[in-house]
Amino acid sequence: MTLLPPTAEQQKRINEEVPTDPETRKRDVAAIREWLSKQPHLPDHMGLLFHDSRLERFLFGCKNSIERCKLILERYFSVRTAIPEFFALRDPFAQEIQECYEAIHYFVLPSLTDEGHRVSILRLRNTAIDKFSIQTISRRILMVLDTRLMEERCLSNIMVIDLEGFSLVHFTKCSPTQSIVRKSMLAVQDSMPLRLHRVHFLHAPAFIESILNIFYPLLKDRLIQKFRIHTGGGEELHSYMDKDMLPNEWGGKAGSFDELNDAWQKKIEKNKDWFLREEKLSRTNESARLPESKSRLLMELDGLQGSFRQLNID
């Protein structure tokens, strides 16, 4: 599955949002690398883990803010040590990952929206409750996000969550009262340089507001304002983006759900060696951490209080 680069018009809009001067970017990357070298708790193999192109993608995702980039890099590595349940056993051929691929459609569409946003889709492929694991779904999502960071940078992200087939038991498993859900939100949203532009919920049941009311007290108003609730299916997206970029089942031309899901599974399988190596190297040495570098993420994990307040939004 190839992530198509921006068209000339899309690139123009992206440049207007996040101007990039090659010389400035080069200096900024050097400054970040120098900062990394002075963090004794971060991995020793930074040159192996992060080439300049990868640091550039992190910086771009942070809208060229060096300080924001430092924060996200700190979280990127800290979360791998603090929440190992999402970052261990990252072999794409492992049984859990293969079962998740068969149970959940999760993929990124090839084309950008006209505004330069990248669209990801999450939906059930198998409605069986015993196949629905927040831990494994989060692990696979993070593997896809890491794969994206090897290949591209984008302006921002649109998440489409199709609730067709979700039962009350599925929603219960997603409740923020469960620590695994809060940890998942920290791992997925707080440790990646990927900004969120919009969240679309499709096939929303009549009781969706009751479900979301559980989350609202924990979310910033700016994030809640990004939610769009739809009772219909993919056709609801046609007024928000070019329908041709959508999956075939939703009136588009991007390929079927299964084809897109298969393509992304093959993509992470192709990067098996990287995942196995990264799993061993991308860890912090907490015994070497300087007191002043205590991560806010780690403090949040201590009590799992207010963890949703730091979501990375525009």
Q: Please tell me the predicted confidence (pLDDT) of residue 305.
A: 42
- Which residues fall within 8 angstroms of residue 138, CB to CB, at 6 or more apart? 86, 184, 187, 188
Helix axes 134-151, 95-103, angle to 10 degrees: 90
User: Please, which residues bridge with residue 123 across strands?
Assistant: 105, 162
- Residue 313 is classified by DSSP as B
Structure tokens at 143: 């593997």
Q: Is the pTM of this model over 0.85?
A: yes
Say how far residue 179 (Cα) sits from the centre of its chain: 19
Q: Please tell me the predicted confidence (pLDDT) of residue 82.
A: 86
- Residue 62 is classified by DSSP as T
Mapped onto helix, strand or coil, the DSSP state of residue 59 is: helix
Mapped onto helix, strand or coil, the DSSP state of residue 202 is: strand
Residues of the chain with pLDDT under 70: 1, 47-48, 218-220, 292-314
220 close to 309: Cβ distance less than 8 angstroms: yes
Kindly tell me the sign of the dihedral angle through the C-alpha atoms of 197, 19, 296, 141.
positive
Q: What does the pLDDT look like over 179-209, one tens digit per residue?
A: 888 888 778 877 889 889 999 999 999 988 8
Integer Cα distance of 39 and 35 in angstroms? 7
Integer Cα distance of 270 and 37 in angstroms? 30
CA dihedral 189, 194, 200, 202 (to 10 degrees): -70
- Which residues fall within 8 angstroms of residue 155, CB to CB, at 6 or more apart? 13, 14, 17, 18, 112, 115, 116, 117, 118, 195, 197
